[in-house]
Structure 1
Amino acid sequence: MRTWKTKKEFKKLFIEKAEVLFEKNVKELSHREVYQIIATMIKDLVSDDWIQTEKIYNHKRVRQVYYFSIEFLLGRLLNTNLLNCDMEELCRSALQDFGFDLEDIFPEEPDPGLGNGGLGRLAACYIDSMAALQLPGHGCSIRYQYGLFDQRIIDGQQVELPDAWLRNGFPWEIKKSDKAVDVRFGGHAYMRPGKGGALVCVHEQYNTVRAVPYDVPVLGYQNRTVNTLRLWKAEYTRENMYGQLRYGDYRKALQYKDQAQQISRFLYPNDSTYEGRKLRLMQEYFFVSAGLQSIMRHYKKHYGSPKLFDRYIALHINDTHPALIIPELMRILMDEEGLSWEDSWRITTNSVAYTNHTILPEALERWSIPMFQELLPRIFLIVDEINRRWLEAVQQRFPGQEDKAREVAILWNNQVHMASLAVVGSHSVNGVAKLHSEILKINTLKPFYTWFPERFNNKTNGVTHRRWLIESNPQLTELICDTIGKDWVHAPEKLLALEPFGNDAAFRERLAEVKQKRKEILAEYLHKERNITLNPHSIFDIQIKRMHMYKRQLLNILHVYHLYRQLVENPGMDIIPRTFIFGGKAAASYGEAKITIQLINTVARLIDQDYRAARKLKVVFLENYNVSLGQKLFPAADVSEQISTASKEASGTGNMKFMFNGAITLGTMDGANVEIHQEVGDEHSVIFGLRADEVQRYYQEGGYSSWDIYNSDADVRRALEVLEENPMFGQLREALLDRNDEFFVLKDFKSYCAAQQEIERRYRDTEGWFRSSTVNIAHAGHFSSDRSIQEYADEIWNLDAVKI
């Protein structure tokens, strides 16, 4: 990868950029302007490699993968790209000569509002790994003007404000107006006889939305590969608007203009209303259609006949949001390229692969047929025909068994079932952890597994160790490199060489010093930026993830309240000081999750106001949790809270980020926790609660009564007093008792309390604790996204590395 050869060259270019971009000399620059200058310099620096990467892919006619995801939670890119260019130290030194500290510049970059949680962060880690492994792979999504929302906590409650992350622009992107495509919505579609009696589609009276691509370079780690994340922005077309104005329908023209611009305005519009659901469907088709049109245009220019499309192109859909890629590719191949249904279906199923992220059947995406048909009439005709042919095959195999058809139908009960479409229209279906993949086969997607057993496989999630260890925790990175060398940086599985050092007292002492330093860094940051005071010598017990009842932040805070009551009754109780940190957003319409945030803040206030407890306990809810804040939290954690109801979490990736930073997992046997436990064993993790088969048995056979637990367990009754004393928490109490505790919070409460006591017992044994920490770091390499992506490349995409 090209670099600035000397500090002198860097400083010369920096001065020139300051004059060109801002007409200022260096001393007049603000920190934000310094950030924008460096970002522009890096983009210029890698531009030749970016062009060269695409040229080589095209010249060698290599197979390429396009990863479609409704989210890409990138995090800040400045530090990452400096690391990937191996230019951080040169940049830091040059800025010091100018009187700037690079650490003051990093916070000037807003977190891109392109994602919300694990789905989007996984996609970001995966495109990072593709580039690092020199695999020809690109991302495709929407360029949202506003992120999910900017979370503020006011009087203990979540308040949602607009996340205007683009207010100062996004210097990493390049607008490609010449690559724009048109996407059709509405109108009427029907089939009529064409030449030779073949049916051809007529689609008329539709509205057109212009899709404009913005490309972001994805840099490989200290190699010359630069792949592309293409983000699509929706714009109205003047032709469409003037056409309506010509007929004098000003209201309709303005309505069309507003609707077109809304498509890429918000990440996850509220789907509690008809208009919100319609907008979500428009978003999903918009970026799928724009992406596929762009890919086909590029493919035909460099590869030739569309009949060979599946030989050179792999299309991956990250959950069902991009599942419309299946009928849209069929539309392009049949309507625009003139291929038969049979050839188009073969190409489509050979090209498309689907990752499922949803265990809960009720959470699988469905759309109303009338809305779908009105919005996407041509796509509906294709989906209807896919469904007809598919059910015909099912009925031939199971004549007269309508229940078999109902289980696997794409169109049923006046709904379009997107998971069914994704399975039927792809050649590979994977879960994201071993347990999750098994549950898909035996439960969620069982009828499809029975039909297509060869399609189902597992690809356990991973996270990029470059961001979540090397970039986020330089102190630990330095210690590891001093101990086992640097080979693990390019081959994270070589972290296993660290394991024997868990028995080395000198190493454990240095590891303890690193952890203490990271806790002090977090405490200092929170005091400076948020006026929060933490005890850096307490146990940092951290749960940071999207707020959801199955993730059981409620179980965590009820245990904290239980500890609080114990301390009130026995102020002299021997307990190591504990700091419980929560973070995560609740969907704006998710009442129980928002009330849980209130509960956490209520308990935090109770503790702060009681001197008997405040000396030993601290509870903090950190508003607006994002990637950048996570990069401070993961390195500081002692305890990784992974306490979802067993069988509910597909995988989790936060558990892996904590593991890379030496935290000990306190968790259920759920998702990738199972594989973490397999790696490190009982000695180096703390597992509690019901197992997945026990949970499923309760759901299927009954036999669980939360009222029985409430009546028989004094600790549970005491913990629930915080809900009973305040009417605002009535909905939570109702969920636990009157609706029989769907996620088994009370069932697992006693086991969780015992697990927390085990954490304290182990923490008192400093030698044993940091031996466990070492073992976790050593085995974390298995959970690198490099391993995950190599498995996708070898076993699903049939993709080879290409040296640039």
Structure 2
Amino acid sequence: MASEALPPLPSQPSDPAALAQAILERLFFTVGKDTVTATDRDWLHAAAYAVRDRLVERWMETQRSYYRRDVKRVYYLSMEFLLGRLLVSGLINLGILDEARAALRRLGIELERIRDLEPDAALGNGGLGRLAACLLDGMATLGLPGYGYGIRYEYGMFYQRIENGWQVEHPENWLRYGNPWEFPRPEVLYPVRFGGRVLQFTDAAGRLCHRWVDTEEVMAMAYDTPVPGYGGRTVNNLRLWSAKASRDFDLRYFNEGDYIEAVAEKNRSENLSRVLYPSDTTEMGRELRLRQEYFFVSATLQDILYRFRKTHGDLELLPEKVAIQLNDTHPALAIPELMRILLDEHAMAWEPAWEITRATFAYTNHTLLPEALETWPVELVARLLPRHLQILYEINRRFLEEVRARFPGDEARLQRLSLVEETPPRRFRMAHLAVVGSHRVNGVSALHTGLLRREALADFEALWPGRIVNCTNGITPRRWLLQANPRLAALITERLGEGWVTDLDRLAELAPLAEDAAFRDAFRRIKQANKQDLAERIHHHLGLDVRPDTLFDVQVKRIHEYKRQLLNLLHVAALYNDLRAGIERLPRTVILAGKAAPGYRMAKLIIKLAHDIAEVIHHDPETAGRLSLVFIPNYDVSTAADIIPAAELSQQISTAGTEASGTGNMKLALNGAVTLGTLDGANIEIREAVGGDAFFAFGLDAEEAARLRRARPDPRTWLEADARLARVIDQLASGFFSPDDRGRYRPLVDALLGEDRFLVLADFTAYAAAQEAVEAAYRDPARWWAMAVRNTAAMGRFSIDRTVRDYAARIWGVEPVTPRRRPRPRTSPPPRLPR
């Protein structure tokens, strides 16, 4: 290749003096400030640019090595990537954190002062985006040729503020001050089409052909962000697409003085990448969301095929050189899009095109809830993507023929398996499309995968045994221990050396230290210092005083009925009643955080209930210092990194059989929190790893929950059996916690007493008993801190590195690649800083 003939760029030195000089140069020449006028944010950007410079050579060499060796590459397609702040993580991965801190001090700047000014990249909502970020970290750390693809949302889902106890959504303008980590690529521009009509004709060879014409066009422009692995040897790429108008404005309208209409088309086009997950509660929101998903996959496939065809002419080689992973169903339109490209643009016959497509794609399922399985109205697909409608119908026709051949006369099975839900209004089932169009489907925990095989995708398992495999989720120890909890990381390194950072199984060597009183005490002191830090942050941001010597009881995750924050709140109310009745309880600070989807009324009502209960508790002198309830707003990666190291009790209390895996449970356990949880998702595997006596399990398991739902018992029977629970429900119904609006929580009460779909009342008594066991264990410090140490020690199997190896071996078929390092010294010494 031509690039191989080019001499490599000189390596960037990273000693404190050279880093300080580089930061100063970036302040002058890139930020455009001097040391007199620079703000802390200017210094942040200058430092980020200097770090980015040190990634670029490794980044380019990584990409050259992939071309040089003609390796198979993984393309990870996700609508969400929650990367968190990148300055400190970049310094850690390059191994120059201490040098950078010293360099900034030479310039009169403290790293700790500027790092919190960096916004979280608002590219996701929850666990889906955090998993995607961890997978990118794992692929780069292991040297796997991996690329992330997503959308460069101008605004995140929303910035959550709490006003009078209610969640209020505000624009999350994370790009307000620019993004020093990204490289705009205006030359990487692809057209994405919508609407129009399909011409059908026969070519000279008698082949039936299709041409998609009269379409509207939007341009997708690339923005690249380097993704370094730990050690900085491999630097992969995250490419995000931003929507640009195919023309900036209509000069005719402009000349006529209609300035609004002149730019209307530009604004409509660029709305595609404006905001994450437009609300699907309106027709316009649903259409915009479908447009987003197709925009994303169309641009991505054009880019993947452009890269492939730079070195390969035969498209039949695609599955040998390309693995595309669909992170949930949002990118599932990539399947008919690749078929369209192969059929219409490369004149390929259906059978080889389908064989290539299926061998290229794999699909990760993340949910068992029927309402969370994405579907799209046939009418909407027909209007926006008429050619894809034809291809989807043909995929379904051929697929159902295969089902008929295997199960003749089984019409019920055909209806269950069809890509089209025929009940009006007819809808495409995107999970079915993702399964049919992929060679592998994976669940994300052992329980979840088992439920997919036995229930949600049982008909597919019967049709294609072995296609559904398990790859339990994992987390990156670089972000969630080394960076988030430097005190604990230092203690572990002192005992084990640095090898645990890339070999988390080494943590098992800590297990014997659970019986070492001195180590337990060191572990406890670190947790106490982290609790003090969090208490100070709570006071600073919320004006609340919490006692660091209380049990820090944490539940942080998206607000949803199945995650059962309501169960937690009912128990907090019961604890309050106990204290008022003179019953002694362990002093406790309950910490909640999470966002509710803007259109999810019940979830938003649960947030309001948390604030109303907190208001009653905090204004009652009889509970002062003994019980606190804190809701920390705008939960994101950085907020998680503040909370998780301080957590002592990790609440993972979803209704059994509803949580696919969870990754928050892993992060909390890794940082020495003891889990109180149901036997759901990855909780089961965490319990196996830490031991049943270091995990507080309670409640119905998945099979028992399913049986109970089928039996449809009267939820009031649970109230009759538990007087504490009955009193709390009565308080909600009577307005005890909402004297300004006594009917406010009637919808919650009616849902609990009407169906109790998520078995909150059914599990309450067992949950309260488990909380009693927590109190007893916490009153025995030797026992508690031994459990905490054992939790950290057992987390090796939940490293993202193990997850990535599973994907690489079982799904992608890729091998690590070690880039060649060719550092060159500068030809002259760098200019020195003035003293």
- Fold shared per TM-score above 0.5: yes
1:256 deviates by: 3.7
1:394 Cα deviation from its structure 2 partner: 1.6
Conserved? CA contact 2:33–2:42, under 8 Å: no
Matched, 1:525 2:537: yes
SS at match of 1:234: strand
Moved more, 701-710 or 657-666: 701-710
Aligned partner of 2:472 among 432, 436, 460: 460
Query: Are residues 1:197 and 2:190 paired?
Result: no
For residues 278-317 of structure 1, the aligned pairs below 5 Å read 278-317=287-326
Question: Does the alignment pair 1:786 with 2:795?
Answer: no
Correspondences of 1:161-172 after superposition (within 5 Å): 161-172=170-181
Q: Which amino acid aligns with 2:774?
A: I
| Structure 2 spans left out of the alignment, 5+ residues | 1-9, 736-741, 820-835
Q: What is the Cα deviation at residue 337 of structure 1?
A: 2.0
Q: Distance in 1 between matches of 2:197 and 2:254?
A: 20
Question: Distance between the aligned counterparts of 1:536 and 1:371, measured in 2?
Answer: 54
Distance 2:597 2:453 in 1: 29
Which residue is equivalent to 2:410?
401
List per-residue Cα deviations over 1:723-768 (Å, max 9, x = no partner).
1123111110011012x20001111111111111100100111111
Aligned to 2:29: 20
Letter in 1 for 2:572: V
Indicate which of 543, 551, 556 corresponds to 2:555: 543
Q: Secondary structure at the match of 2:280?
A: coil
Contact conserved, 2:20 with 2:103, CA < 8 A, in 1? Answer: yes
Tell me the CA shift for residue 306 of structure 1. 1.4
The aligned amino acid for 1:727 is G
In structure 1, what is the equivalent of residue 401 of structure 2? 392
Deviation of the 1:45 alpha carbon? 1.4
- Partner Cα distance (1:11, 1:68) in 2: 38
Q: Work out which of the residue numbers 606, 612, 623 in structure 1 matches 2:616.
A: 606
Native 8 Å contact 1:190 1:378 kept in 2: no
Is the Cα–Cα contact under 8 Å of residues 2 and 224 in structure 1 kept in the other structure? no
- Cα drift, residue 494 of structure 1: 1.1
Amino acid at match of 2:455: N
Q: Does 1:645 align with 2:661?
A: no
Q: How does 1:139-158 map onto structure 2 within 5 Å?
A: 139-158=148-167
Check 1:252–1:418 CA distance in 2 against 1; reply closer, same or farther (3 A cut). farther
Deviation of the 1:14 alpha carbon: 1.7
1:691 counterpart residue number = 701
- One-letter amino acid of the structure 2 residue matched with residue 764 of structure 1: R
- Of 744, 759, 781, the residue aligned with 1:728 is 744
Partner secondary structure for residue 338 of structure 1: coil
Q: Distance in 2 between matches of 1:395 and 1:644?
A: 38
Q: Distance in 1 between matches of 2:249 and 2:178?
A: 28
Deviation at 1:605, TM superposition (A): 0.6
Query: Is 1:445 the counterpart of 2:457 in the alignment?
Result: yes
Q: How does 1:57-68 map to 2 (within 5 A)?
A: 57-68=66-77
Q: Which residue of 1 aligns with 2:525?
A: 513
1:343 aligns with 2:359: no
Per-residue deviation, residues 174-211 of structure 1 (Å, max 9, x unmatched): 01111110001000014211121111112111001000
Task: For residue 429 of structure 1, report the CA deviation from its aligned partner.
Answer: 0.4
Pairwise mapping of residues 553-564 of structure 1 onto structure 2 (< 5 A)?
553-564=565-576
Q: Say if 1:384 and 1:253 are closer, same or farther in 2 by CA, change over 3 A.
A: farther
**CA 1:259 to 1:23, structure 2 compared with 1: closer, same or farther past 3 Å?**
closer
CA RMSD in angstroms comes to 1.9
CA deviation map 1:643-681 (0-9, x unaligned): 000000000000000011000000000000000011112
3-state SS, counterpart of residue 463 of structure 1: coil
For 1:523, give the aligned amino acid. Answer: A
Per-residue CA deviation, residues 683-714 of structure 1 (Å, 9 max, x unaligned), is: 10100011110011123x32422122223431
Q: 1-side partners of 2:807 and 2:406: how far apart?
A: 32
* Corresponding position of 1:498: 510
Q: Equivalent residue for 1:430?
A: 442
Q: Deviations over 1:530-562 (max 9, x none)?
A: 322110000000000000000000000110000
More displaced stretch, 251-260 vs 750-759? 251-260
For structure 1, the residue ranges without an aligned partner over 5 or more in a row are none
Q: Tell me what 2:689 maps to.
A: 679
Deviation at residue 529 of structure 1 after TM alignment:
3.0
How many angstroms does 1:528 deviate by? 2.3
User: What is the rounded CA distance, in whole Å, between the counterparts of 1:23 and 1:318 in structure 2?
Assistant: 40
Q: After TM superposition, give the deviation of residue 470 of structure 1 in Å.
A: 0.3
SS in 1 for 2:218: strand
For 1:43 and 1:193, locate their aligned partners in 2 and report how far apart those are by CA, in whole Å. 53
2:363 to 351, 354, 378: 354
For the residue of structure 1 that corresponds to 2:241, the secondary structure is: strand
Contact 1:540 1:581 in 2 (8 A): yes
- Which residue number in structure 2 is paired with residue 364 of structure 1? 373
Q: How many residues align?
A: 800
Aligned ranges 1:29-178 → 2 under 5 Å: 29-178=38-187
CA distance 1:2–1:130, shift in 2 (3 Å): farther
Q: Which moved more, 1:300-309 or 1:77-86?
A: 300-309
Name the residue aligned to 2:739: none
Give yes or no for contact 2:293–2:333 (8 Å, CA) kept in 1.
Answer: yes
Q: 1:207 aligns with which of 216, 221, 227?
A: 216
Tell me, in whole angstroms, the C-alpha distance in 1 between the residues paired with 2:254 and 2:202. Answer: 33
**Mapped contact 2:24–2:46 kept (Cα < 8 A):** no
**Which secondary structure does the structure 2 equivalent of 1:344 belong to?**
helix
Call closer, same or farther: CA 1:3–1:773 in 2, change over 3 Å: farther
Distance 1:45 1:711 in 2: 66
Q: How much does 1:25 deviate?
A: 2.5
Residue 773 of structure 1: CA displacement? 0.8
1:245, CA displacement in angstroms?
A: 10
Conserved 8 A contact 1:66-1:139: yes
> Residue deviations 1:583-602, cap 9 Å, x none?
00001110110000010001
3-state DSSP class of the match of 1:209? strand
Distance across 1 between alignment mates of 2:93 and 2:206: 57
Q: Which amino acid aligns with 1:741?
A: D
Alpha-carbon contact 2:249-2:266 (below 8 Å) kept: no
Alignment-derived partner of residue 742 in structure 1:
757
Q: Any residues of structure 2 matched to 1:175-190 within 5 Å, and which?
A: 175-190=184-199
CA contact (8 A) 2:253 2:262 kept: yes
Distance 2:54 2:531 in 1: 36
Q: Which residue type is aligned with residue 89 of structure 2? A: T
The 3 A distance-change label for structure 1 pair 670 and 244 is farther
Relative to structure 2, which stretch is displaced further, 633-642 or 41-50?
Answer: 41-50
Match of 1:470 in 2: 482
State the Cα deviation string for residues 3-29 of structure 1 (Å, max 9, x = none).
534222112222221111344332432
1:202-235 deviation per Cα after TM superposition (whole angstroms, max 9, x unaligned): 2111001000000000001113211000000011
CA contact (8 A) 2:31 2:45 kept: no
2:40 & 2:67 partners in 1: Cα distance? 40
- Name the residue aligned to 1:628: 638
SS at match of 1:574: coil
CA distance in 1, matches of 2:730, 2:174: 41
For the residue of structure 1 that corresponds to 2:744, the secondary structure is helix
Please give the secondary structure, in 1, of the residue aligned with 2:156. Answer: coil
**What is the identity, as a one-letter code, of the residue corresponding to 1:136?**
P
Q: For residue 790 of structure 2, what is the aligned residue in structure 1?
A: 775
Name the CA distance, whole Å, in 1 between partners of 2:659 and 2:769. 22
Sequence identity (%)? 44
Q: Which residue of 1 aligns with 2:833?
A: none
Deviation at 1:262, TM superposition (A): 1.0
Contact persistence 2:58–2:232 (CA under 8 A): no
DSSP 3-state at the match of 1:177 = strand
> Residues of 1 paired with 2:114 and 2:108: CA distance?
12
